[in-house]
Structure 1
């Protein structure tokens, strides 16, 4: 707390310009702090957020100079129309929520800040490369208008017309002609899941794997991560709000929070603890990312052979029903007949492509293979996993030893 105000500091940094967010959780009308069920609700909105900027010449020193304000939450409702009829009223006062910043330099050397959470969508704001602040002047934050919302940024992704839509945590990267926008859907504790769309231009239009507009009413696909559970484990939930990075050799990685389900080991707070996860990414033939189901463990990527495909696999499908963990079934691949002899794809045939390290099934699904750690086995060992795009779902699998 600073004075009578309560602040929550969140953010995401880059090597060039580290940005951070400060959220004032006090009610606008009276300034009283928002504390759940404490009776302070005054029929006004709260959570006005600010994005700021720090600078250092040596990130390893952890000595930073604060360069101050960049942008804040902004409304199109006017200065005084911040009333809220009840805590169940989701017609938010702010149109753009100034948290979750991510930063990119485009191929033509433009600097952009992509930010936003819930409210009316994700905004793209062009920056001055000299100081990391907005390139153009900002208008009054209570009366934004136009496609660029009076300088606060163009909305590039949203979930319909709601002013309280469950998407946040944008991450932006560039690869092979496209800007990829990764988004977190849902609430933090369990249903959190990751979607992605892409565009040839930094400010859109963005579309998903099915060609659906990121500015429409449709959910975006593919689903990259969602709650799941392999056998002999508690599994994971709340897997989203990601950072995407590569090693300079087109090997890409997905980093995010992950949580245990509720009451793991009798601990009623197990779901409240956020743990860091890193997973490897493969890219399909059309340039869409697939996040591997098992966490990264630096397993040497010795080429997989056809003989290794034979046997039992755990198989599951990540779907839009993200409120519960997806559990696996056993799927058996027979080498002599090249048929799947058990599981939901029983009687389908399969072929293996050693060059691309993929399995193609007669159901039309292409499984992208990789060696990873089997975190559920005791003692831990390496195994083979796969990820594949389906129709509005993603398949994950793991070879059983």
Structure 2
């Protein structure tokens, strides 16, 4: 999820050719999963995926019929589906003709890119959180749309969930919904500026709890603002906060990497493997550049029937730095720290 310029929270490239013919990637993976320790220097390649996989900031959910629905950054939010989590087909835009005029105030243009969506399926419908912003500004907003089918054009705008202004010390982008063990709904968010934040939501509406002004700070990097894209899952008594560090969206020059920390409580404090607080710059690397897989990040997570799955984009060094879909299983070591397998 990303920044190209140090003066701005992210720099999105416009996703061209969303309606073009599907691209196919044949990313080699070993016949047997390469199991390694969480702090090993080498990483396995992305799992084999095919079809329409030119994607940025992917988020994925499994629907009640077993079909996977994926959303990604684009004007109107680009949608893809898969029946096997391997072959993906582009199906269209969440909003008709990509038009979301209610976001124009924040994108600074008519029907501009909507960034870093977050998908989930709850209460018999799909929830789609997404962000609107313009380059170099933290006048931004997170919106919610819902759909009972997930199909293009079926999404109903539920309005603005949270926003920031140019005088705010953080940025309202990169939403991620997590429901804690007590059933409370939380939205993590944030990019650059002062780091990753969290607010509580009303489970009956999916919107911020009325009258609440509490904003929790859960991760930051003193001396660097290059931190964004929160994604949280629960495992073995801990909440794990995954984030993306450093520079995205530079193709083969990207330096993105995926970091993690964990906490016993949803609002923190989160610590990395050695015990450093994520609010003090802590973070344990989960995935970084390796071989032709450059700058992996913009991640989301799905807890599927066969285990935990990391979904992300990376830049293909063997294909002129084109952004492509990466999917890997997440395994857990004996100390319950995650590693890519």
After TM superposition, list the pairs within 5 Å mapping 1:2-401 onto structure 2.
2=104, 5-6=108-109, 7-10=112-115, 11-16=117-122, 17-25=127-135, 46-60=137-151, 63-74=154-165, 93-137=167-211, 150-151=213-214, 153-160=215-222, 165-188=225-248, 189=250, 190-216=254-280, 218-221=281-284, 223-229=285-291, 235-249=292-306, 251-261=307-317, 264=318, 270-271=320-321, 273-292=322-341
Q: 2: distance between equivalents of 1:94 and 1:195?
A: 25
Match of 1:320 in 2: none
1:175, distance to aligned residue in structure 2 (A): 1.2
Q: Is the CA contact (8 Å cut-off) linking 1:19 and 1:52 kept in structure 2?
A: yes
Give the number of the structure with larger relative contact order, counting CA–CA contacts within 8 Å between residues 6 or more apart.
2
Separation of aligned partners in 1, 2:210 and 2:196: 18
Q: CA deviation at 1:134?
A: 0.8
Misfit runs of 4+, over 6 Å: none
Secondary structure, in 3 states, of the residue corresponding to 1:206?
coil
Aligned-partner Cα distance in 2 for 1:100–1:248: 26
2: CA distance between counterparts of 1:174 and 1:62?
32
- Report deviation, 1:61: 6.5
Q: Is the contact made by 1:194 and 1:226 (CA closer than 8 Å) also made in structure 2?
A: yes
Larger proportion of strand: 2
- Other-structure match for 2:40: none
Q: Secondary structure at the match of 1:215?
A: helix
TM-score normalised by structure 1 residue count: 0.53
Q: Deviations over 1:175-223 (max 9, x none)?
A: 111111001000013210011001111100111111111111x4411x1
The answer to whether the 8 Å contact 2:108/2:133 transfers is no
Distance, in Å, in 1 between the alignment partners of 2:203 and 2:225 is: 31
The number of residue pairs the alignment matches comes to: 227
Q: 1:48 to 1:8 in 2, by over 3 A?
A: farther
- Aligned-residue offset at 1:95: 1.2
What is the CA–CA distance in structure 2 between the aligned matches of 1:253 and 1:46, rounded to whole Å? 32
* Cα distance in 2 for residues equivalent to 1:61 and 1:19: 15
Does the residue aligned with 1:170 lie in a helix, a strand or coil? strand
**Contact 1:258–1:277 (8 Å) recurs in 2:** yes
- Structure 1 residues 240 and 61, CA, compared in 2 at 3 Å: closer, same or farther? closer
* Distance in 2 between residues matched to 1:225 and 1:60, nearest whole Å: 32
- Structure with bigger gyration radius: 1
**Aligned-pair CA distance for 1:46:** 2.8
Contact 1:15–1:59 (Cα < 8 Å) also in 2: no
TM-score normalized with structure 2 length? 0.62
> Which residue in the other structure is 1:145 paired with?
none
CA distance in 1, matches of 2:305, 2:183: 18
RMSD: 2.2
State how far apart, in whole Å, the 2-side matches of 1:62 and 1:247 are.
Answer: 26
How many angstroms apart in 2 are the aligned matches of 1:260 and 1:199?
33
SS in 1 for 2:133: strand
